Amino acid sequence: MRMHHEPRAMFSADDMSWAMTRMTHEILERNHGSEGVILLGILTRGAPLAKRLAAIAERENQPLPVGQLDITMYRDDLRSNPTRRVGRTILPAPIDERTVVLVDDVLFSGRTVQAALHALADLGRPHAIQLVTLIDRGHRELPIQADIVGKSIPTAADESVRVRLQETDGEDLVTIERSAL
């Protein structure tokens, strides 16, 4: 018998707003401003997060070019899910010799980031690549860690983290849900 457990709210809209502002300041501090830095949001939810970071930086008079990275064809599970829809990579400028800041919603196994690194290798040769994630839930399968994290939320293996964004879901909220066996 499967039991469904109610999702637990872990990160409110206010929490998310505060974290995004802090993360933007950390990006600017780490890179000594915005010169030579490009934000690339990993599709799907990393793209609106990257746009939010860029908007905050813009208000600080530190414009950060922002684009999106489609990693569909670089995923290691593509064979098991071949009907996946391909999005679009949009680069705001060439990435060669620039610092690319990858933005994603949840860092889990590290496989999405690995796919993003492969995709970037086909697009050019950045000076450096940094990783920013809204939520780090642990359970890494690859030696990948974020440079900047909005919130670390330790999770059990049977839990899933769901990020809801105003742009894609009509609200800002992060929940954890346990799927009982």
C-alpha span between 67 and 95 (Å, rounded):
11
pLDDT of residue 3: 52
CATH class, 8-27+36-75+87-178 region: alpha beta
pTM of the model: 0.91
Instruction: Work out the percent of the chain whose per-residue pLDDT is above 90.
Output: 80
Domain ranges of the chain: 8-27+36-75+87-178
Confirm if 128 and 144 have CB atoms less than 8 A apart.
no
C-alpha span between 103 and 7 (Å, rounded):
25
Confirm if 135 and 163 have CB atoms less than 8 A apart.
yes
Instruction: Work out the percent of the chain whose per-residue pLDDT is above 70.
Output: 90
Q: Is the pLDDT of residue 32 over 50?
A: yes
The whole-chain average pLDDT of the chain stands at 91
Summarize pLDDT for 125-136 with one digit per residue, the tens: 999 999 999 999
